Amino acid sequence: MRIELINGLVDALFARLVGSALMAFAAAWALAWLNRNDIWQPNTSEMKTLVAFLSNQDSDPKAVRFVTWIIKKKQYKHAGKHLVFWLENPFADVRSAVAEALGAIKSETAVEPLIARLEDKNADVRRMVALALGAIKSETAVEPLIARLEDEDAEVRRAVALALGAIKSETAVEPLIVRLEHKDVGVRSAVAQALGAIKSETAVQPLIARLEDEDADVRRAVLSGLAQGLEEIDRKLLSCDLDGFNPFFDPREPINDVFAKRAASELELSVEDVQARYEPLAERFGLCLAWHEDDQ
């Protein structure tokens, strides 16, 4: 009975997508809500109807914004060429939502239109466009992204750095290394993560030098970046949750016996083996091992 009611509701909402702008807006919002809360998942026929709605350039743009949420969650790649048109919409929140959806479906056909929107007057749109280009991972976007590393908006600069890290292009290494000295803490952190993702030997020594950064978050990000080139077990030992993922240690915070025993238990090693693995890591990255202090 519940399924029949939901299907009936969905059919009614689809019928209202072709109504007035206000009716289409309300219907698209309701469909997006049902989808986001896993009450309804569109079938192939319904997805085609949503794409047809996107392809109609007279569709209400605010309704289009909600439809992009469904496209994004469904990872429906066939929507890419129809979404691109809406990157030119006057409403910034629509352009931002469309960019996010294009990144989510990794639309190769959207790369050039997205690159053009790196010049968007709205910072949130530029940020979302940068992240979308990073998700698509097209080498074509590398040089345009590098050019935006000095964007006037700090959040955009961070997104650009992360996007370059996601693409993993060696071309971005030197421009990113320069930004390890950036005055913005968030930019330095994002750059460290990006360089870690690229795993370039060229970046290792510049990253090690930033382990002395004045900001703890930057130091953690740098250690996270450096850890990407290590064996899995060493990455785990450098991470606070012993899973090899963020958050990583601040190198200035002592690693004590209690943590070593926890690591030994979770990683199925002896405490002696854990401490022995920390020794070269401490020497290379300047870690503080509390058991050394206890021995003094």
Write the pLDDT tens digit of every residue in 8-35: 889 999 999 988 999 999 999 999 999 9
The yes-or-no verdict on residue 222 having pLDDT over 90 is yes
The alpha helices in 17-141, defined as continuous H runs, are 21-36, 44-55, 61-74, 80-84, 92-104, 111-116, 123-136
Q: Determine the residue type at 235.
A: R
Q: Which pLDDT score, from 0 to 100, does residue 2 have?
A: 47
Q: Which pLDDT score, from 0 to 100, does residue 6 have?
A: 73
CA 124, 128, 134, 140 dihedral sign is: negative
Q: Which pLDDT score, from 0 to 100, does residue 3 have?
A: 61
Closest to 118 in 3D by CA, of 138, 100, 97, 133: 133
Q: Which pLDDT score, from 0 to 100, does residue 159 have?
A: 97
Q: Give dist(CA 187, CA 190) in Å, integer.
A: 5
Q: Give dist(CA 291, CA 280) in Å, integer.
A: 15
The yes-or-no verdict on residue 117 having pLDDT over 90 is yes
CA 267, 268, 272, 273 dihedral sign is: negative
Name the DSSP class of 110. Answer: G
What is the set of domains in the chain, with CATH numbers? 1-105 (1.25.10.10)
40 contact partners, CB below 8 Å, separation of at least 6: 6, 10, 31, 34
Structure token digits, residue 290: 């509390």
End-to-end CA distance of the chain: 73
Name the DSSP class of 254. Answer: P
Structure token digits, residue 293: 């202090």
The yes-or-no verdict on residue 5 having pLDDT over 90 is no
Average pLDDT over every residue of 196-202: 93
pLDDT band at 131 (very low <50, low <70, confident <90, very high): very high
pLDDT in tens, 87-101: 999 999 999 999 999
Structure token digits, residue 41: 């998942």
Residue 248 burial by Cβ neighbours in a 10 Å radius (0-12, 13-18, 19+): buried
Q: Determine the residue type at 201.
A: E
Question: Do 117 and 99 touch, CB atoms closer than 8 A?
Answer: yes
Q: Give dist(CA 272, CA 274) in Å, integer.
A: 5
Question: Do 215 and 185 touch, CB atoms closer than 8 A?
Answer: yes
The yes-or-no verdict on residue 1 having pLDDT over 70 is no
Q: Which pLDDT score, from 0 to 100, does residue 291 have?
A: 84
Helix (H, G, I), strand (E, B) or coil at 248: strand
Structure token digits, residue 238: 């450098």
Q: What's the mean per-residue pLDDT of the chain?
A: 93
pLDDT band at 292 (very low <50, low <70, confident <90, very high): confident
Q: Which pLDDT score, from 0 to 100, does residue 294 have?
A: 56
pLDDT in tens, 53-104: 999 999 999 999 999 999 999 999 999 999 999 999 999 999 999 999 999 9
Q: Give dist(CA 272, CA 263) in Å, integer.
A: 11
Q: Give dist(CA 236, CA 244) in Å, integer.
A: 4
Structure token digits, residue 222: 């740098």
Give Rg (Cα) of the chain: 24
